[in-house]
Structure 1
Amino acid sequence: MPTRQSRALLLALAVALPLSACARHRAKGDLPYVARDVGTLYSAARQRLDQARYKEAAQLFDEVERQHPYSVWARRAQLMSAFAYYLDHDYTNSIQSAQRFISVHPGNRDAAYAYYLVALGYYEQIQDVTRDQKITRQALDALGELTRRYPTSRYASDARLKIDLVNDHLAGKEMEVGRFYERRGQWLAASMRFRAVIDGYQTTTHTPEALMRLTECYQALGVTEEAKKAAAVLGRNYPGTSWYDHAYKLMQEHPAQALPAVPRGEQPVPLGTPGAKAQSLPGDSGTAKIKPGGTVTPAPAATDPDPTTAPTTATPAPAGPATTTPANTGPTTGG
């Protein structure tokens, strides 16, 4: 029969074994959640960020917020966490951290940067036009929100450029579906897609092709007057493109509907506004080409850059919010 000492020993072993197993099976990248002063935590997070250990940096920034939620560094750590997740290509956590910052600190001077991180998080996840475009529309909404709220911020110009690229991408999706219907002989469904490009994305590179294919669809449907109108608009706006050459030859096959030749270089007019003056847009187009992340190459800086200063390049790269690294003893209080 076991003695009291043996029973105590067995109980101690039963408690120690699970703890040792947890220690052995801890993931390599996990951080021990021990209590530290805010200065030590924040400095360690910045060190990981400078060493390109972005996941560890993000976890440490999260710890600053968790262990010291009411310190002056918690707000800055929250935004730096979103930045570190972005650099680690963990866009879901980056968006969530930035959105949490916006909800808690909507009037903060770094709120524009938080909106920018949200937009970039969606933008980087855009997929090719053969896939579902839900993320693309979310990126467009986030970019539009940034430009509406902060039209003069350093991030607005880059957001406007990306809005044009996203719109071109969405137009490419409509063209892809329209071509699919056209190949199957579903002329009405195809014409609706091409019409959507002309009505909603007429400043994109896909407009000339959409007009030419709309002419083909109307011809196949027997709506000859509409086909003639579409070809005429194509000729007035894009007279020097291969798309108009194709539409012109198509209409010449039907002498009663033939169009007069449009001299190359004639001043084009905007769609739907006869007689008005406008500059011509790019002509030939194919499937929308957009490479997520191709225009943004973030890199960690030695110190947190100030988002209120002017960018040094035409396309600003995301940078951390304006902060200074606290001393190991923690931030000073007061004020």
Structure 2
Amino acid sequence: MSLPLIGAALALSGCSSTPVDNTLGWSPNKLYSEARDERDSGNFDKAVELYEKLEGRAAGTPLAQQAQLDKAYTHYKSGEPAQAQAAIDRFMRLHPTSPAMDYALYLKGLVSFNDNLGLFGSLARQDLSERDQKAAKESFESFKDLVNRFPDSRYSADARIRMTYIVNSLAQYEVHVARYYHSRGAHVAAINRAQSALTDYADAPALEEALYILVMSYDALGMDQLRDDARRVMETNYPQSTFLTQGFRKASDPWWKLW
């Protein structure tokens, strides 16, 4: 075969390997429908690809905005929180007055919320109070923004429940640390963390234990007046408490089973 013919053959070979876009000619509605089907079937990468095509072809339309949010949700469902957050932040930046802003805020909070814990999951042994608190605080702020800006949104009721859960968890985190300090004999540090919980998280279930840690830590330091004051507050607010008679709860009793 002559050189020109070889070159032509290689060129044809290269053309035959060019990916064919099977979505050419699809309407935006068909693209959206196919993307949802792929996502619902667990084909997350394919769904994201279709949502991105839809964003481009339907640019400037409400359907393109919906594609951006659905792409973020797909990343969330596929266990890619960083990509989900990036997609949500981009949507919020590009469409600050979108009618779907309440959903964007809800999804932003949901991405950071660990829904395999407490009321929302399988009651795993490790609870949110033993994990990094940064994500919990970010989730709370997103839900709070949603509730404040869109109190009547269909997503606000669930957001309020999750906010309560997060607050209780953050309170328990302080108590978790206070208990650790107390067990190590660092009673001043234990008192500081228990007081932080009492000051910052009113009505959280963990406050019963926070008061008990104060009683025990003040007693260990020989601060009888403060010990008695803490005990009096505890007996007034938790008259049926078993802490004073049985001590710390067993490990089999996770905090979130109390509420």
1:247-300 alpha-carbon deviations (Å, 9 max, x no partner): 8xxxxxxxxxxxxxxxxxxxxxxxxxxxxxxxxxxxxx965449xxxxxxxxxx
Structure 1 alignment gaps of length 5 or more: 24-30, 248-284, 291-335
1:106 aligns with 2:96: yes
Task: Report what 1:6 is aligned to.
Answer: 3
Matches within 5 A, 1:1-335: 5-6=2-3, 9=6, 13=10, 16=13, 35-37=24-26, 38-124=28-114, 128-245=128-245, 287-289=254-256
How many residues align structurally? 242
Preserved CA contact (<8 Å) 1:212 1:246: no
Q: How much does 1:44 deviate? A: 2.0
Amino acid aligned to 2:113:
Y
Q: State how far apart, in whole Å, the 1-side matches of 2:81 and 2:129 are.
A: 20
Preserved CA contact (<8 Å) 2:23 2:31: no
CA-based RMSD: 3.1
Q: Secondary structure at the match of 2:142?
A: helix
Q: How much does 1:15 deviate? A: 9.3
1:170-193 alpha-carbon deviations (Å, 9 max, x no partner): 122112211111111111011111
Preserved CA contact (<8 Å) 2:212 2:231: yes
Larger relative contact order, structure 1 or 2 (CA cutoff 8 Å, min sep 6): 1
Q: How much does 1:19 deviate? A: 8.6
Q: How much does 1:241 deviate? A: 1.1
Structure 2 alignment gaps of length 5 or more: 118-126
Q: How much does 1:11 deviate? A: 8.1
Q: How much does 1:196 deviate? A: 1.0
- The structure richer in helix per residue is 2
Q: Could you say which structure has the larger radius of gyration?
A: 1
Amino acid aligned to 2:237:
N
Q: How much does 1:93 deviate? A: 2.3
Normalising to structure 2: TM-score of the pair?
0.80
Normalising to structure 1: TM-score of the pair?
0.63
Preserved CA contact (<8 Å) 1:136 1:166: yes
1:204-250 alpha-carbon deviations (Å, 9 max, x no partner): 11111110111111111222111111000001111111124468xxx
Structure 2 CA distance for partners of 1:183 and 1:190, relative to 1, 3 Å? same
Preserved CA contact (<8 Å) 1:61 1:81: yes
Preserved CA contact (<8 Å) 1:112 1:153: yes
1:1-21 alpha-carbon deviations (Å, 9 max, x no partner): xx9x3266258649957995x
